[in-house]
Amino acid sequence: MESSPLKEIASELPFFKTVNEREKLLGVVGALVLRQVSLSKAAEIMGMGKEAFLELLDAMRVEFSYLEKSDVETEVKW
């Protein structure tokens, strides 16, 4: 039985105990980065508080910002 590429990636993550939890994390992070879910919803799906989830994102080196791209451009100009 072959494993999927997603399972292979998930098995390499040092976060969470099961591959299923790791796969869920990958999906949630993807949805968050694509702005399909809010930070609150992503944390809820993972069964974590927002602060704990932000710490996890930081540990994973996932860049996340509440700002829209245009907001970032405005900040850079100032």
Q: What is the pLDDT of residues 4-48, one digit of tens each?
A: 654 555 455 556 567 788 788 888 998 888 888 888 999 999 998
User: pTM for the full model?
Assistant: 0.66
pLDDT greater at residue 16 or residue 76 = 76
Is the distance from CB of 67 to CB of 75 less than 8 angstroms?
A: yes
pLDDT of residue 20: 80
Q: State how many domains the chain has.
A: 1
- Which string of b and e fits 16-45 if b means at least 16 CB within 10 Å? eeebeebbbbebbbeebeeeebeeeebbeb
Write out the residue range of the structural domain in which residue 19 sits: 5-77
pLDDT at 77 over 60: yes
To which residue do tokens 């590429």 refer?
5
Mean pLDDT value of segment 56-72: 77
pLDDT of residue 45: 92
DSSP 8-state code for residue 78: -
From the centroid of its chain, how far is CA 36?
Answer: 11
